[in-house]
Chains A and B, each alone.
Chain A
Amino acid sequence: MRNMKTIKYLFIVVAATLITGVSCDVLEEEIISGVTVDTHYNTPDGFRDAVNAAYERFRDFYGDEDGCEITVFGTDEYTNGGHGGAQYINKYIAGLNGESDTFWDPWQRFYEGINTCNAVIGRAPDADIPEDEKAVLVGEVKFLRAQYYFHLVQFWGPVHLTLEETVGVETEAERTPEDQIYNAIIQDLEDAIAVLPDRQSEFGRITKPAAQHGLALVYLTRAYQSFGNGAADFSEAADLATEVIENSGHELLEDYQRIYNSDDGAGGLVHTTESEQNNEILWSIQYDSDMLLNDEGNRTHLYFRAWYETFNDGLDRALGHGYGRPWIRFRPTPWLLENFRPLDVDSRFEKSFAIVWLYNTDRNIPEGASVGDTAIWITDKTAAEFDTAAIRARLPGVNLFTWNLDEIDQDWCLWRTDVSVNSPNINIFPVPWKVDDNLRPSLNETRGSRDFIVYRLGETYLVAAEAMLGRDGNGSNAVEYVNAIRRRAAWPGMEAQMEVTAGAVDLDFILDEWSRECFGEQQRWLDLKRTGKLIERVKLHNPDAQNIQDFHALRPIPVNQITRTTNDYGQNPGY
């Protein structure tokens, strides 16, 4: 009896234990909400996802603050405004070193992009998608990989080169000589040109003309290098650029302003899907008004903006064109503005800059003024040419400025920053229309939707001109391409005055023209570095960057890279 009871209890125990024993899958791990490389990339959709991902990291450079800070200021075009923490990069002083996140961020993003590209290229043979589609996708990704490396090698010189997807832990890295990196870049771009179509059905995907322009720029850059092929490289660059100009089907727009904006129907300008997909654009980084696709968005609309709202009463921060949210990072140098003269011949100054702000609130509005009247006006004139008293009488409370260097001793001159404790002029300057983003949903929204143009046909003309100048040693062939650009930029009827002679075309003139055409487009530092003019022209034109020295032509390797590498990675000299 007792034993029976014991057995009964034991039975309960064993049964209870066995019930739990059934769930032996306790230890099996199944990933449901995530995907792994091996399960996803080998499917057709997964392969396309990997290709899309290869584009993403350029959004962390073009339209991003770090990307702007290492390309826009510290040049002859731009110096720092009153705000922002990275002014040491403009000034080439302490703080510009490998500890700076400003260098770490793009460095990191480029290598993440490269690994994604490597995964696509390496896995392509096994990808289960139609071969012709696959070839084009691989071509796009080879272009992107070449671009990531091209950026790295220009900023940092010899850097780690890998063309294989990382599958295990890698703690070593090499500083591959620059010539080998250029060879890899050229190979990738040639492969891309061979398979890419002239147009893609989805705008923003890489096309053959974009790859040709890219390769032209690579040859042009290598041509100046000691390890480059000099005239042969210039020649390759010229041929590729003329091929794009003549045979790609892309054409210069008639109106310079339409490259960036179109009419909003109310007398203002707006960037729209149409204006962003015009026939001059070869490659633009895509941003979107759908926040789910836009991620951090294009933020350049913040950085170039003056602190307009503090330079008069009756002004509020606003969303409209020319207004926006000011971060006051980049301020034009006097040279940038002077370079557009004569303003009644070259239309590009007027088509590029906001110089007038209107009262937009009744709050504290100056007596006699009303909403819609001029609150701030920045002119290029001297007091002798511009009757300030009459204008002030006509526009009650208006705050007048001039950027004319003849007025340098006067308080109203933009270049005076010691004028008074009240609003030093460092925070007021003409603001480029081309970064405006008035489609943002609210005025403090940072995530802009404007596409960032990297390559357009106008630049291809300048690549051709610079390459021919280098190849020929004179402007005889280059002048045609320079003048094509200049004629388009002329005010109607001023085309002839815009044209220059072959003798006037030297390297400095071409750099001046690059600036007039493409200022502030995250290219200037690289243009100056490419042509070996960085130190000379920065010293000449950027009053805040006089500390620049020869070693600054290379950027510091991020300390993270050096300390995490188990072998000796090595810093660039001078840092």
Chain B
Amino acid sequence: MKRILLLLFIGTFCSFSGLSLFGQGRTVTGTVTDAESGEPLIGVNIVVQGTTTGAITDPEGSYSIDVPDGEAVLLFSFVGYELQSITVGLQTVIDVQLAASMVGLDELVVVGYGTQRRGSITGAISSVSSDEIQERPVMNAGQALQGRATGVVALSDGGSTPGTNVTIRIRGRRSLTATNDPLFVVDGIPWSGSITGLNPKDIRSMEVLKDASATAIYGSRGANGVILITTNRGGNMPTTVSYSGHYGISSVLAVPDLMNGEEYYRLKEVGGRAFTQDELDAYAAGVSTDWVDLVIGNGFQTNNQLSVRGGNANTGFAISANYFKEGGVIETQDYTRKTFRVNLDHQATKRIKVGTSTQVLSGLRNLGSNAYGGAVNISPLAEPYDADGNLIFRPGADPLLWNPLADYEEGVYFDEGEAFRVFSNIFAEIDILDNLNYRMNYGPSLINYRRGLFQGSNSGARQGGNALVRKEHERVFEYTFENILTYNLETGDHNLNFTGVYSIQEKDHEYTHIEVEDIPYESQLYHNLGTAETVNDMGSYLEEWGIMSFMGRANYELMGKYMITLTARWDGSSRLAEGNKWGFFPSAAAMWRISSEDFMSGQDLFSDLRLRVSYGITGNTGIDPYQTRGGLTRSYYSFGGLSGLGFRPESLANPDLRWESSATANLGLDFGLLEGRIAGSFEVYQTHTTDLLLERQLPITSGFNSVFENVGETRNRGWELGVTFRNFASGDFSWETNLNLFGNKEEILDLYGTEEDDVGNEWFIGEPLTVWYDYEKVGIWQLGEEDDASVYSQFPGEIHVADQNNDGLINQDDQVILGSDMPTITLGLGQRFEYKGLDFSFMLLGVFGHTVYNDYLIARSTLQGRYNNLNVNYWTETNPTNEHPKPDGSREYPLYSSTRGYYPGDFFKIKNIQLGYNFPTGMLSKAKIKKLRLYLNLDTFFIWSHLQKGLDPEKYGGEIEADVPATRMYSFGLMIDF
């Protein structure tokens, strides 16, 4: 059946054959200059209309391009300039002058399975250009998106551990338990896994597809938005060798205010916690060790990119090598990324083009151990070294608190994750007809990952016990195979473009691990597991899935003013059960270019005005394979020394699982005012998601804790404003402001069709997808309130929470919603000033409307006295504060401890400030240098938030953990082109 469908599909395209003529072709040359200044323009994109044949101007502005005989039209496009089309006719030399365009309507924008002129786009797309990405010393593509694209919330996964990823949410979240991660597509091939593995220095542009018109073409994977990443390519141009690099020093923003020896002694005393003789002696001797200071140092970051780009009329290449290394403020933590890229395009014959985009990655992440966590915990009354300067392994009173410096000793602790990846797109294109193109992409990706964990006997994790060793190995192979047909028809006022895709993708994931202890000699690390006395654990698994898709898209443009896009995609997934495998995802969109209407010709307020509307359905298949099947899990038992291993039911089968689907309506207005000095877009949208894939918590009395189900509805409503103000641009000085402001409101509309909340899952109708649900802190029970407190079996000095229903009991009925972790307003504001070659810019990020949970504070304010504590204001008989309760050495943490942790999440952050200088070309040309730029950059200059000083409020999920303190980085960078 599917085979027949396929043939029909192909057949449809075939019927277009024979319409056009073929020619022999010839070469056209010329130069492209700026219409105003007459300066040659470098890097102008030249395309033979209706084909993919193209060229790029060299540093002299010259180009050379092969054109077919007949009615060939050359399109000249360049960022910031009006597109110009010139009919070749009989000319062989065509010199072109391009006029600056403030709006850049004709620049080509990458869309799903193709490109489009910005002015013709019907969907909601944010673009981030090469300059914006290259200008800052970012370590991954996600960071480059921060504050740059409307509708995109990109927040750090937290901490300042080297190699930390960024979590990206486009227009909020739709799904309660399935993924909300957008789909990354790199040079046409879906990229799975952390985007940190992609070298950001290779990126030429990023397009964020947001509404259904733009994303429906990705069907079942489009619901969370799509980020298209295009990497640098070569072309018909002289060879350019570029180096760019930076080196930065990072340091902690602030260290936590922990108790010193005296304060800690007092805490233990008040809490009634036992002292040992060592502690009493240390206290008497005035010992107060600042452990955090001992384990925290300065980190660094360096990035070095060497690339060569060039080519001739038939072949273009871009080769780059990159070395990135980040060392953490915890000296055992670092991340090294080495990438190598080859992008190649070759015109094999007049009609056949082949090429590749290939990146090879080698990434090494040393996670080290949590020495900082140990330093925060350990008693300030303990000393790190003995009189001879030797490390004391167990310095404190508590035998489980190990000297955090022990892990810094040679050969004691390793946690190395090493990834090797080849990610490639190999493609071929055939121009079957002049206006009918076939492209085949084969995109294999192979990831080899291994983790080696070694905890030596003297490490904090083993504390003198046997060394523990663990090795994990993962192999992930996936491929995407795509067949794309594009057809263009332009006659007079009508412009029709048709794209059809047939695609399959498969993924195999193998995993193996083994954990042993008691190895005969520690120098083997994790390389001789067979010699261990004890095997703790071992296992392996195989996971496979596949997707098959058929897609079609038609764009129709009438008189350059009216544009319609229709897309449809059928996706089949192996992860769903028979009968539910296939999903259909259509979308429709229209655009009206109002500024091209006759009635607008008289005015000069609007240089551009476009109205867009779209509606479509996208899907989310974010469930793991085999979820529809139900499964057993290993059970562990023994009988008198004999194996009693077994299998126990673990998950319920649900063969009815379907795609989660999101219907999105989008209304957009693109505008250019005052000759493009103000240009931007305003969007409003609503996404209505149904058949949510929920991991629904079940009453355990059935034996199962949860099941995957399609239930419930959510809605996201929002607006987005992105504006570029060219405030001032004359002579040597210019000032530009970029504003991104957007709001989004998540809401659960329904759960099980009963209009009832699901308190067990903390899902509430009318509320965002995740909320903080807890008791509400009133204060601390004070002296004189003994009788009131005793109603709840409580005592003065303990945390007083609200008895919401006044029934004399504190139980689940007294928990209330204290806020949500999802921001409602996000602001990105960039300012850029240029004077001659000098430029100064800064970027401000503001995130508002959410509530965070300060786990950092709570976890380090247990007031138990076993661990060191943040120096908080705690209650005593003589200090009747309402902030923190009375220390109690008998419990691990205070009753209702978490109620102290909720804070408004609003923050402002000056993400970076940069001062740069571009050397004048005249001066450089003598040294045969095309371009030279030097800059100084400061990351995380300033933070304003409700949290304690030194805490970074930027954290996806709103749980402020600060496993590693927030850092600031000063860096110096250099970019040079030869």
Residues of A within 8 A of B (CB): 2-3, 5-6, 9-10, 12-14, 16-18, 20-21, 23-38, 40-41, 46, 48-56, 59, 80, 82-85, 87-88, 92-95, 97-99, 107-108, 111-112, 114-116, 118-119, 159-160, 162, 165-173, 202-205, 273, 277, 286-288, 290-295, 307, 309-310, 313, 317, 421-424, 426-427, 441-445, 547, 559-566, 569, 571, 575
Given A423-B275, A424-B272, also A34-B626 (CB < 8 A):
yes
Which chain A positions have C-beta within 8 A of B541? Answer: 33-34
Q: Specify which of B464, B629, B707 is in contact with A36 (CB 8 Å cutoff).
A: B629
Which chain B positions have C-beta within 8 A of A564? Answer: 697-700, 758, 760-761
Which chain A positions have C-beta within 8 A of B465? Answer: 441-445
Given A26-B548, A162-B701, A171-B698, also A202-B642 (CB < 8 A):
yes
The answer to whether the Cβ of B812 comes within 8 Å of any Cβ in the partner chain is yes
The answer to whether the Cβ of B346 comes within 8 Å of any Cβ in the partner chain is no
CA distance A291 to B574 in the complex (A): 37
Q: Which of B237-245, B317-325, B643-651 contacts A (4 or more CB under 8 A)?
A: B643-651
**Is the beta-carbon distance between B573 and A27 smaller than 8 angstroms?**
yes
Given A49-B647, A55-B644, A169-B652, also A24-B3 (CB < 8 A):
yes
**Is the beta-carbon distance between B812 and A31 smaller than 8 angstroms?**
no
For residue A63, give the distance in angstroms from its CB to the closest CB of chain B.
12
Q: Specify which of B3, B547, B574, B703 is in contact with A111 (CB 8 Å cutoff).
A: B703
B3-61 residues at the A interface, CB under 8 angstroms: 3, 6, 10, 14, 17-18, 21-22
CA distance A317 to B665 in the complex (A): 67
**Is the beta-carbon distance between B639 and A286 smaller than 8 angstroms?**
yes
For residue B638, give the distance in angstroms from its CB to the closest CB of chain A.
4
Which chain A positions have C-beta within 8 A of B600? Answer: none
**Is the beta-carbon distance between B274 and A82 smaller than 8 angstroms?**
yes
For residue B138, give the distance in angstroms from its CB to the closest CB of chain A.
37
For residue B558, give the distance in angstroms from its CB to the closest CB of chain A.
29
Which chain B positions have C-beta within 8 A of A5? Answer: 22
**Is the beta-carbon distance between A203 and B504 smaller than 8 angstroms?**
no
Which chain A positions have C-beta within 8 A of B430? Answer: 9, 12-13
Listed by A's residue number, 16 A-B pairs whose Cβ atoms lie within 8 Å are A6-B17, A10-B14, A10-B17, A14-B10, A20-B481, A31-B629, A31-B631, A83-B866, A108-B700, A111-B703, A286-B637, A288-B638, A291-B535, A292-B636, A310-B274, A561-B699
**Is the beta-carbon distance between A30 and B812 smaller than 8 angstroms?**
no
- Determine the residue in chain A with the shortest Cβ distance to B629: A36
Given A27-B581, A29-B575, A202-B640, also A56-B635 (CB < 8 A):
yes
**Is the beta-carbon distance between A50 and B646 smaller than 8 angstroms?**
yes
B583-642 residues at the A interface, CB under 8 angstroms: 625-626, 628-632, 635-642
The answer to whether the Cβ of B181 comes within 8 Å of any Cβ in the partner chain is no
**Is the beta-carbon distance between B534 and A95 smaller than 8 angstroms?**
no
Which chain B positions have C-beta within 8 A of A98? Answer: 811-812
Which chain B positions have C-beta within 8 A of A32? Answer: 542, 544
What 9 new A-B contacts, CB under 8 Å, besides A9-B432, A56-B648, A88-B895?
A: A20-B504, A32-B544, A41-B647, A50-B647, A166-B649, A166-B704, A170-B702, A421-B275, A442-B462
Q: Which of B65-73, B724-732, B885-893 contacts A (4 or more CB under 8 A)?
A: B885-893
For residue A71, give the distance in angstroms from its CB to the closest CB of chain B.
20
For residue A297, give the distance in angstroms from its CB to the closest CB of chain B.
10
The answer to whether the Cβ of B765 comes within 8 Å of any Cβ in the partner chain is no
B798-823 residues at the A interface, CB under 8 angstroms: 798, 809-812
The answer to whether the Cβ of B518 comes within 8 Å of any Cβ in the partner chain is yes
- Determine the residue in chain A with the shortest Cβ distance to B703: A115
For residue A462, give the distance in angstroms from its CB to the closest CB of chain B.
26
**Is the beta-carbon distance between B638 and A443 smaller than 8 angstroms?**
no
Which chain B positions have C-beta within 8 A of A14? Answer: 10
For residue B870, give the distance in angstroms from its CB to the closest CB of chain A.
19
Which chain B positions have C-beta within 8 A of A48? Answer: 646
Number of A-B residue pairs having CB atoms within 8 Å of each other in the complex: 330
Given A115-B702, A441-B517, A443-B465, also A97-B272 (CB < 8 A):
no
The answer to whether the Cβ of B537 comes within 8 Å of any Cβ in the partner chain is yes
B752-773 residues at the A interface, CB under 8 angstroms: 752, 754, 758-761
The answer to whether the Cβ of B878 comes within 8 Å of any Cβ in the partner chain is no
For residue A309, give the distance in angstroms from its CB to the closest CB of chain B.
6
- Determine the residue in chain A with the shortest Cβ distance to B23: A2
The answer to whether the Cβ of B331 comes within 8 Å of any Cβ in the partner chain is no
**Is the beta-carbon distance between B700 and A561 smaller than 8 angstroms?**
yes
In this complex, how many residues of chain B approach chain A with their Cβ under 8 Å: the count is: 118
Given A26-B548, A203-B639, also A56-B269 (CB < 8 A):
no
**Is the beta-carbon distance between B632 and A52 smaller than 8 angstroms?**
no
Which chain A positions have C-beta within 8 A of B543? Answer: 33
**Is the beta-carbon distance between B275 and A16 smaller than 8 angstroms?**
no
CA distance A53 to B643 in the complex (A): 12
Given A21-B6, A441-B466, also A118-B703 (CB < 8 A):
yes
**Is the beta-carbon distance between A26 and B504 smaller than 8 angstroms?**
yes
Q: Specify which of B481, B544, B625, B647 is in contact with A40 (CB 8 Å cutoff).
A: B647
**Is the beta-carbon distance between B811 and A97 smaller than 8 angstroms?**
yes
- Determine the residue in chain B with the shortest Cβ distance to A423: B274
Given A26-B546, A29-B574, also A115-B640 (CB < 8 A):
no
Given A26-B547, A559-B812, also A286-B17 (CB < 8 A):
no
CA distance A36 to B754 in the complex (A): 32
- Determine the residue in chain B with the shortest Cβ distance to A200: B639
CA distance A153 to B540 in the complex (A): 40
Which chain B positions have C-beta within 8 A of A12? Answer: 430
CA distance A562 to B697 in the complex (A): 12
CA distance A5 to B432 in the complex (A): 8
The answer to whether the Cβ of B389 comes within 8 Å of any Cβ in the partner chain is no
Q: Specify which of B433, B645, B698, B812 is in contact with A170 (CB 8 Å cutoff).
A: B698
**Is the beta-carbon distance between A56 and B637 smaller than 8 angstroms?**
yes
Which chain A positions have C-beta within 8 A of B759? Answer: 563
B498-548 residues at the A interface, CB under 8 angstroms: 502, 504, 506, 517-518, 533-538, 540-548
The answer to whether the Cβ of B276 comes within 8 Å of any Cβ in the partner chain is yes
The answer to whether the Cβ of B438 comes within 8 Å of any Cβ in the partner chain is yes
Which chain B positions have C-beta within 8 A of A108? Answer: 700, 705
The answer to whether the Cβ of B880 comes within 8 Å of any Cβ in the partner chain is no
- Determine the residue in chain A with the shortest Cβ distance to B11: A14
Which chain A positions have C-beta within 8 A of B697? Answer: 560, 564
- Determine the residue in chain B with the shortest Cβ distance to A3: B18
**Is the beta-carbon distance between A21 and B2 smaller than 8 angstroms?**
yes
**Is the beta-carbon distance between A441 and B533 smaller than 8 angstroms?**
yes
**Is the beta-carbon distance between A80 and B812 smaller than 8 angstroms?**
no
B705-720 residues at the A interface, CB under 8 angstroms: 705, 707, 709
CA distance A82 to B649 in the complex (A): 39
Which chain B positions have C-beta within 8 A of A171? Answer: 698-699
The answer to whether the Cβ of B351 comes within 8 Å of any Cβ in the partner chain is yes
Q: Specify which of B481, B485, B547, B701 is in contact with A561 (CB 8 Å cutoff).
A: B701
- Determine the residue in chain A with the shortest Cβ distance to B463: A444
- Determine the residue in chain A with the shortest Cβ distance to B799: A94
Q: Top 6 A-B pairs ranked by shortest CB distance? A: A115-B703, A203-B640, A52-B646, A85-B892, A442-B465, A564-B760
Which chain A positions have C-beta within 8 A of B517? Answer: 441-442
For residue A95, give the distance in angstroms from its CB to the closest CB of chain B.
5
Q: Specify which of B542, B698, B798 is in contact with A169 (CB 8 Å cutoff).
A: B698
**Is the beta-carbon distance between B647 and A111 smaller than 8 angstroms?**
no
- Determine the residue in chain B with the shortest Cβ distance to A99: B812
For residue A103, give the distance in angstroms from its CB to the closest CB of chain B.
12
Which chain B positions have C-beta within 8 A of A424? Answer: 272, 274
**Is the beta-carbon distance between B794 and A168 smaller than 8 angstroms?**
no
Q: Specify which of B400, B635, B703 is in contact with A166 (CB 8 Å cutoff).
A: B703
- Determine the residue in chain B with the shortest Cβ distance to A17: B483
The answer to whether the Cβ of B572 comes within 8 Å of any Cβ in the partner chain is yes
**Is the beta-carbon distance between B810 and A97 smaller than 8 angstroms?**
yes
Q: Specify which of A50, A162, A310, A442 is in contact with B397 (CB 8 Å cutoff).
A: A310
Given A6-B432, A205-B639, also A94-B548 (CB < 8 A):
no
- Determine the residue in chain A with the shortest Cβ distance to B801: A94
Which chain A positions have C-beta within 8 A of B758? Answer: 563-564
The answer to whether the Cβ of B382 comes within 8 Å of any Cβ in the partner chain is no
**Is the beta-carbon distance between B631 and A114 smaller than 8 angstroms?**
no
